[in-house]
Structure formats: C-alpha cells, structure tokens
Structure 1
Amino acid sequence: MEASPHSNTKRLPAMFFKFQFRNVEYSSGRNKTFLCYVLETQGKESHAACDSSLRYNITWYVSSSPCVTCADRITETLKKNKNLRLTIMVGRLFMWEEAEMQAALKKMKSAGCKLRIMKPQDFEYVWQNFVEQEEGEEAKAFVPWEDIQENFQYYEEKLAEILH
C-alpha cells in the first residue's frame, strides 16, 4: 500500500492502520507490510525521473521492518544511488532475533539507511496524513493504544542492540 500525504493516492482504512501498524511484539495475522512515504527533493528544478543533480530524501513509514530479501534490495539501491537518502520509520521489528535479519539491518545502516522505531507521535502523523477519514466527519483524533510507549521503548532498545 503506497500513500503520500500530498497526493490523491488511496489512503489506508482506519481499521487496517489500527491492526497492521500496532507495535506489538507478537504480530500474529499481520503478514503484510504497509508502506506510506514522503518524498522531498533538494536541488535545481528538474522534470527528469531520477536526476543525479538532485538529492532525494525519502521517509518511509512501515508497519514492520523489511525482511532479509527486501533489506538486501534496499541496501543495493542505496549503494547505486548516492543522491538518495532513505529514513525508514518502523512500527515493529520483523524476526529481529535471527542473525541473518540482524546482519541485513546492519548492512542497510552501513549503506546509509536511517532506521528508526516509530514513536507515538509518528503513529499520530501517519494517522493524520495517510489514514482514510469518513466523508463529512470531523477528522478523528488519533487514540494511542495502551502499550504504545512501552512497545516503542522495547523495539528501540532491540534496534540499538542490533545496530551498535
């Protein structure tokens, strides 16, 4: 699922967001990754698809960190495109206990990817910018789940241990 806050791209249904982005440790039934993104360009105006004179700053908000295969693809893409800066904000870590997964996350970091765990404020940002609101309703406020802060701290610790 791709969504951008500045386009008419389809937004996530609120029910999907509340289930798929929830930063729980045991993510049973959450077998898809949802990606929302923000793209900023710096440099001269250009209409080219990928202009090497521009710097592209991309922020992904994803429900789960990438698998090994996707992490390797991200690493290769960053190595090939030096003008690309990628920050990945993740709701939870995918299979982080596995050595192969940890190695893949470290390779992403060494290729220049900034990996971050989503804070409660980040979930609120996604809610406000990427989640569908019902027609004619006042925008509903984001209601954090009970353990959102503890889960953020748990994953932040794990990620710091992996990337140290």
Structure 2
Amino acid sequence: MDYYSQRKFLYHFKNVRWAKGRHETYLCYVVKRRDSATSFSLDFGHLRNKNGCHVELLFLRYISDWDLDPGRCYRVTWFTSWSPCYDCARHVADFLRGYPNLSLRIFTARLYFCEDRKAEPEGLRRLHRAGVQIAIMTFKAPV
C-alpha cells in the first residue's frame, strides 16, 4: 500500500457539513487478536474504493483470505471517511454472522445518505444489531 499523507487524511476525514469533492471512501483498519487479557496487532493499513467496488467490500474480501482460527477472538477497528451505505452494511452484517469470533468497531467521519434517506439509517441499525459498535469520530487538534 502507498503512503497515506497527513494532508490527504485530514481532507478526507474532516467532518464537514457539505463534503464537496469527497467522492471516495477511505478506510483505515487495525486487526487485533485477543488472547485472554492481552491483544496482539496482526495487521493495519488503509483502503479506498476501487473500480466501483465499495471499500467495505474490499476489506471483507481481504480478510476472507485470512485463515482465522475459530478458537480465537479477533477485533477489527475501522476508521472511515463515510459511514457504510445500506448494501455494504447488509454485507458486513451477513459476513459477521459467519464469524462469531470477530468483532467490529467503526469510527466514521461523516454519515452517508443517498436519495432514499431511510435506507442508510436502517443499514446502520442492522450493523448495530449484528454487534457492531459505531461512533462518529471527533477531531482534536494537537495543543
């Protein structure tokens, strides 16, 4: 993966009311394995939409190639520039049903809404029912 500059990060992850020009979704991730009271970082990185494929689906394809041990617990944390659309939320919830030993936290910069303003909130509720912790990121500038 290429280097992700601070300037690019701040541009895409800034929580603004009108996110003009921000048509891509970026996803930074951390994958940890929990062993009793300790956890070990297994991987971290970032992805963005490619060729019309939403970034959430790219991550699911990526982690599907892993040989996750069903006897161990894994925690995935996403930091996204946009919250998932309804279809991606559905795919993520379905994916998590197949991996009860994997938990997901999503911190997002902005909520995504399409023309059907009822679909995206329902997708987020579906993720919540699947056990996903979802929160809006806040930005604190260094002092």
TM over 0.5: yes
Shift of 1:143: 5.6
Shift of 1:76: 0.6
Equivalence for 2:50: none
1:19 aligns with 2:11: yes
- Comparing 73-82 and 96-105, the one that deviates more: 96-105
Residue of structure 2 in register with 1:34 after alignment: 26
- Counterpart for residue 59 of structure 1: 77
Change (3 A) 1:143 1:26: farther
1:88 aligns with 2:80: no
Distance 2:76 2:10 in 1: 24
Q: Aligned partners of 1:91, 1:79: CA distance in 2, in Å?
A: 26
Structure 1 stretches of 4+ moved >2 Å = none
- Counterpart Cα distance in 1 of 2:3 and 2:105: 21
Root-mean-square deviation (CA), in Å?
Answer: 2.4
**Residue matched to 1:105:** 124
1:71 aligned to 2:116? no
Q: Which has the higher helix share?
A: 1
Cα shift readout 1:96-133 (whole Å, capped 9, x = no counterpart): 88111111110000001000111225xxxxxxxxxxxx
How many residues matched? 114
- Distance in 2 (alpha carbons) for counterparts of 1:42 and 1:14: 29
SS of 2:104 mapped into structure 1: strand
Q: Which runs of 5+ in 1 are unaligned?
A: 1-8, 122-141, 145-164
Identity over the aligned pairs, expressed in percent?
29
Q: Under a length normalisation based on structure 1, what TM-score does the superposition of the two structures give?
A: 0.63
Structure 2 unaligned segments of length 5 or more: list them.
Answer: 41-65
Instruction: Give the CA deviation at 1:25.
Output: 1.8
Q: Is this contact kept in 2: 1:87–1:115, CA < 8 A?
A: yes
Alpha-carbon distance in structure 2 between the residues aligned to 1:83 and 1:41 = 10
